[in-house]
A and B are shown apart, each in its own frame.
Chain A
Amino acid sequence: MFAKILIANRGEIAIRIMRACRELGVKTVAVYSEADKNSQHVQFADEAVFIGNAAPKESYLNMDVLIRAARDSQADAIHPGYGFLSENASFAAGVESANLAFIGPSADSIRAMGDKAESKILMKKASVPTVPGYEGLESYGDFKKAAKEIGYPVLVKAAAGGGGKGMRVVNEESELKEAIELAKREAQNAFGDERLLIEKYLANAHHIEIQVFGDKHGNLVHLFERECSVQRRHQKIIEESPSPLLTVELRERMGQAAVNAAKAVNYHNAGTVEFIFDPRPSTFDLQPSFYFLEMNTRLQVEHPVTELVTGLDLVHWQLRIAAGEKFPFTQSDLHQHGHAIECRVYAEDPSTGFLPSTGRLLQFIPPQGPGIRVDSGFAAGDEVTHYYDPLLAKLIVHAGSREDAIQRMKNALNDFIVHGVVTNIDYMRAVLEADDFKQGKVSTRWVETTFGEWNVPQPELHALIAAALADVVFVGGKARPAVSNETDPFNPWKGTGNYRN
C-alpha cells in the first residue's frame, strides 16, 4: 500500500478520499487554490500545497503544478477524484511518467472511452448496444440531413465530453442551428474540442448505469446498477440502487454488457458504464431496451449508493487496486442488500431554473440518525463561491426497502439546515413525494416537462414570528435569552435593555 498520496481535487470528494486514506493508514496531501485556502479539505489533510489562482485552469486543472506538488511532498500516487483532470488521459500518462501511481484506469482506457464518437464505434464492435446516430459530421447541412434521418427530437453533444456540458436537445429543425453553435462553443470551452455527435433523443428514457471494477490481474466485476433519472440541466440530482425498473434478468444482461464494455478497453480500477434505458417493451423481444451512452473512467459522484448496497468501500478498493492488489471475490460473491438513495444538495435556486447561489454559510447542520450518511465539503462560516461546482453535500440513506429509504430520505432532508445560500433541499423532498417517483416512473426529462415550475411558498405565521424574533433574541449575531430567564435573579442579561422595540 502507498505511504502517502496527493488528492488532486477539492470539496466533498477530497475529504471522502482522505477518510479512506486515514482508514488505510495512508498519509494525505491536499492541494488548494487561492479561493480554497480555508476550505474544509485543506483542514482535513495531513499536508496541503498551494497550487494557484481560483480559476480552475490556473490551479486544479494545472497538470504540471499538481505533479510537481506530488513529487515535492514525496507522495507515491495521485487520486484525481471526479471532474477536473480525472478523465484526462494526458494527466494519467504524465503522472505515470513522473514515477507516480495514478489511482484510476490506464491512460489508454481513458483515451479510448473519452472520445464519445470513437468509444461508440468500439462498443458496436464489442456487441454492446448503442443509440442510433452519427459521428464525425461537420457541416450544418450534414447535421440537418442526419437529424432528419434519425427523426426529431435529436440530441447534439460534445464528442469529447460528459456531464451534460456541450449537450442540447433539439425538438425541431428550426432550433438545430443555434443548438449546434451553442453546443460547439460549450464543448470548446469545457473540453478544448468542438466536435459534436448527433443521435436519437429518447424522450421517456431512464438513465441507468452499472458500476464496474477491475483489478490489474484480469478480474473484472460489476457492482450492479444505479438509477439516476432525476436530472435537471442533464445533471443528476437523485440516484438510487437498485433501480425499481430492473428485473433479475435485465440486471444480469446489463451487468454483462457493462463488463464487456470495460473489457473492450482493458479496464482496471473503478468505472461506470452509463446506459439509456427505454422501459417500453421493444417490438423485437418485448423487453425494455438499453443502449450504451458513455463510460465514465473514474469514481462517480454517486458512488456511495453502491457502497451502501454492496457493503464495499469503493475508494479503499481504488487504492488497493492501484497498489497492485487482487480482488479476493468474484461476481457470484457480490449481492445487493436493501435500498440506497442519494440526494445531491446543491447551492442553487430551483425557482430561477437552478441558477447557482453564492454566499457565506450562516448555518450548516447535516442530519443524523440510523442509515444516514453525509459526504460534505462545507461547514458553517464557509464561503460558497462561483468558481466551482455548487455541490454542498451528498445525503445518502440506506434502508431495507425502497419505501423505507424514501421515507428516511424525506426525514433526513427535513433535518438538513442550510442558511446563507438557497439550496435544492425543499425541491428534492417534493420530488420524493411525487407519485411518479414513488412508482419509479421518473424519466430523465421529467423534472423539465412534468414536475413543473417551482414557486417559493409565502411565509406562514410561524416563519414571520421567528424572523421578527431574531432581531430581539439574537442581537449582534449572538444568542441572548432575552425573556426566558427573566425570573432568574442571576440572569446576566436582566435589565440590560436589549430589546430594540
Chain B
Amino acid sequence: MKTTFDTQTIELNPSGENFVAVVDGKTVNVQIARASNGRMDLLVDGQRVTAHVSSDMARRWVTINGRTLMLTKTSGAKQGVRHDHAGGLIAPMPGQIRSVSVSVGDAVKKGQTLLTMEAMKMEIRIQALKDGVVKSVSVAQGQTVEREQILVEVE
C-alpha cells in the first residue's frame, strides 16, 4: 500500500505479524507493540518509538519525541491548489473584512496592502505577493469570511 504525505511517499505492507515500510528506497521492519487511544508503541528495526497519531480527513497529526507534525495525505490530489489559485489571496483564518483598498483593474506592487481584516482581535493586512493588476475583488467591507476563502485575485 503506497501513501503520499505532502511530497513524501511511503510504502507499507504487512509481513507476517509485522509490517515492512519502504521510504526513499530504504526498507525497515515495523512491529506494533501496542496501539490504543491515538498512541502507538512501535519497534522500528528494533528501535522503540512512541507516536501519538490523530486523523482528521486527509490530515495526520503525529508527535514523536515531543515534535509534532501535521501531514496531509496528497495521494492523487493536485498539489499546491490552495495557494496558487490564479494569484488568489485567501483569508488565513475566519474573520471580518475591515477595509478594501483596491478595485478591479488597479495596478498593485508586491507588498502593497490590498485589504485588511480583523480576526481574533487582530488586524491582518492582506498584501500583494507580486506586482500585477487586480483581476477580482470578492469581498466588501464588513463582510464575514471563512478560512481559505478567496478575497482578491491579482494577475
Q: How far is the CA of A358 from the CA of B124 in the complex (A)?
A: 16
CB distance from A188 to the nearest CB of B (A): 11
Q: Which of B21-42 contact A (CB under 8 A)?
A: 21, 23, 26, 28, 30, 32-38, 40, 42
The interface residues of chain A lying within 8 Å CB-to-CB of B64 are 462-463, 466
Q: Which of B2-61 contact A (CB under 8 A)?
A: 3, 5-6, 8, 10, 12-14, 17-19, 21, 23, 26, 28, 30, 32-38, 40, 42, 44, 49, 51-56, 60-61
Indicate whether A413 reaches chain B with its CB closer than 8 angstroms: yes
Indicate whether A248 reaches chain B with its CB closer than 8 angstroms: no
- Report if A501-B12 is in contact (Cβ < 8 Å); known contacts: A386-B95, A419-B61: yes
Contact B68 A425 (CB under 8 A): yes
Cβ-neighbour of A466 out of B28, B34, B42, B66 (below 8 A): B42
Binds A, one of B102-110, B114-122, B129-137: B114-122
The interface residues of chain B lying within 8 Å CB-to-CB of A417 are 52, 63, 68
Contact B44 A386 (CB under 8 A): no
Indicate whether B92 reaches chain A with its CB closer than 8 angstroms: yes
Q: Which of A440-490 contact B (CB under 8 A)?
A: 456-459, 461-474, 477, 479-484, 486-487
The interface residues of chain B lying within 8 Å CB-to-CB of A418 are 68
Indicate whether B86 reaches chain A with its CB closer than 8 angstroms: no
Indicate whether B94 reaches chain A with its CB closer than 8 angstroms: yes
Contact A459 B55 (CB under 8 A): no
Indicate whether B70 reaches chain A with its CB closer than 8 angstroms: yes
Contact B52 A419 (CB under 8 A): yes
Indicate whether A47 reaches chain B with its CB closer than 8 angstroms: no
- Report if A358-B94 is in contact (Cβ < 8 Å); known contacts: A414-B66, A463-B64, A481-B35: yes
Interface-centre pick from A414, A484, A486 (highest chain B CB count, 10 A): A484
CB distance from A143 to the nearest CB of B (A): 20
Indicate whether B140 reaches chain A with its CB closer than 8 angstroms: no
The interface residues of chain A lying within 8 Å CB-to-CB of B78 are none
Q: Which of A388-415 contact B (CB under 8 A)?
A: 388-390, 413-415
- Report if A356-B119 is in contact (Cβ < 8 Å); known contacts: A465-B30, A467-B62, A474-B53: yes
Contact B94 A386 (CB under 8 A): yes
Q: How far is the CA of A456 from the CA of B124 in the complex (A)?
A: 22
Q: Which residue of B lies closest to A189 (CB)?
A: B118
Contact A414 B65 (CB under 8 A): yes
Q: How far is the CA of A182 from the CA of B98 in the complex (A)?
A: 12
Contact B52 A462 (CB under 8 A): no
CB distance from B71 to the nearest CB of A (A): 5
Contact B6 A165 (CB under 8 A): no
- Report if A501-B13 is in contact (Cβ < 8 Å); known contacts: A355-B93, A414-B65: yes
Indicate whether A24 reaches chain B with its CB closer than 8 angstroms: no
The interface residues of chain A lying within 8 Å CB-to-CB of B8 are 458-459, 464
A-B pairs with beta carbons under 8 Å apart, 16 shown = A362-B54, A363-B52, A386-B94, A419-B38, A419-B54, A419-B68, A420-B56, A462-B42, A462-B49, A463-B69, A467-B62, A467-B71, A468-B5, A469-B32, A483-B19, A501-B1
Q: For the A-B complex with A414-B66, A474-B38 known, give 16 more contacts whose Cβ atoms are closer than 8 Å.
A: A352-B92, A360-B56, A362-B54, A386-B95, A413-B66, A417-B68, A457-B69, A459-B5, A462-B64, A467-B5, A473-B32, A481-B34, A483-B19, A483-B32, A484-B32, A499-B14
